[in-house]
Amino acid sequence: MTDTPITLAVLGGTGKEGKGLAFRWARAGYNVIIGSRAAEKAEAAAAELTEMLAGKASVSGMDNLAAAQKASLCVLTVPYSAHKDTLLAVKDALQGKILVDVTVPLVPPKVAKVQMPPAGSSAQEAVEILGEGVQVVDAFQNISYEHLLHGEDVPCDVLVMGTSKAAREEVLKLVAAAGLTGWDAGPIENSVVVEGLTSVLIHLNKTYGSTHAGIKLTGLSPKQ
């Protein structure tokens, strides 16, 4: 349980990755809102998570704009094809807040091939769209959703990049609340490497018959 629970909105949170993160944060004591283009779809996902958590957590559902307006911090978990339109729809509601962008610029059908956008990464694209009034943090791209909806430990690390150190520190708290190990990986420009790594992991999964390849850092000790 967090000391002072805040309200988190997982925009586009009806997919597997979004629901997995929402599940872990709700279990940790955060007030979680599932956002979707369709409020009914968000409400259904929230009801599913509430049932999984035996009613012992706060999860609600609403459309993306309403979710962004109500939340203190927002997390974007949409496919890259919906990235720009979703950001434009909630731009005003995000001003003065932190946005955690989980989007990866995968371009079907060749999702195992790195294909970065002109801005450099999805997160850098978000910075261009949202402007200086929003602190953008890139995280959670390399965590398989298959791990998230279960209670066991996840043997995979989370690299956190962002437009300010303060924003990265806030998101590292969310990483810990989700039961994961996070690392401050520097400025938002470094997101190019981490987002691109997702395609490498997809290739490894296909080549070696896995579904949940991840990364684990060595030679480092977490700050106390």
For the chain, list the domains and their CATH numbers.
7-208 (3.40.50.720)
Closest CA to 122 of 106, 98, 134: 106
Arithmetic mean of pLDDT, 26-30:
94
Whole-number pLDDT of residue 79: 95
Per the prediction, the chain carries an average pLDDT of 94
Q: Does residue 34 contact residue 61 with C-beta atoms inside 8 Å?
A: yes
- Asked if 28 and 173 count as a contact pair (C-beta separation under 8 A), the reply is no
Contact (CB, 8 A) for 10 and 33:
yes
- Is residue 214 within 8 A of residue 148, CB to CB? The reply is no
Binned at pLDDT 50, 70 and 90, residue 3 comes out as low
C-alpha closest to that of 42 among 50, 146, 130, 150: 50
Q: Is the pTM above the cut of 0.85? A: yes
pLDDT value at residue 199: 96
Instruction: pLDDT band for 1, please (50, 70, 90 cuts).
Output: very low
Instruction: Give the three-class secondary structure for 96.
Output: coil
CA distance 50 to 129: 33
Summarize pLDDT for 74-132 with one digit per residue, the tens.
999 999 999 999 999 999 999 999 999 999 999 999 999 999 999 999 999 999 999 99
